[in-house]
Amino acid sequence: MKKNIGFIGLGIMGRPMTLNLLKAGYKVTVYDINKEAIEKLVAEGAKGAASPKEVGENSDVIITMVPNSKHVREAVLSENGVAKGAKAGSVVIDMSSITPVASKEIAKELSEFGIEMLDAPVSGGEPGAVAATLSIMVGGKEEVFESVKDVLQAMGRDIVLVGANGCGVTAKLANQVIVNLNIAAMSEALVLAAKAGIDVEKMYQAIRGGLAGSVVLDAKVPLILDRNFVPGGKISINLKDITNVMETAHSIDVPLPLCSQLLEIMHALKADGKENDDHGGIVQYYEKIAKVEVRREQ
The answer to whether residue 274 is catalytic is: no
Which among 104, 172, 234, 274 is annotated as catalytic? 172
280 secondary structure, DSSP code: G
Q: Which one, of 100, 107, 101, 142, lies nearest residue 121 by Cα?
A: 100
Q: Which one, of 235, 260, 262, lies nearest residue 249 by Cα?
A: 260
Inter-CA distances, 295 with 18, 37, 198, 236, Å? 35, 34, 11, 23
Residues in the chain, total: 298
DSSP structure string for 157-199: EEEEEEESTTHHHHHHHHHHHHHHHHHHHHHHHHHHHHHHT--
3-state class (DSSP) for residue 88: coil
Greatest alpha-carbon span in the chain: 64
Inter-CA distances, 97 with 205, 206, 288, 296, Å? 33, 35, 30, 34
CB 119 within 8 A of CB 170: no
Mind telling me the catalytic residues? Answer: 172
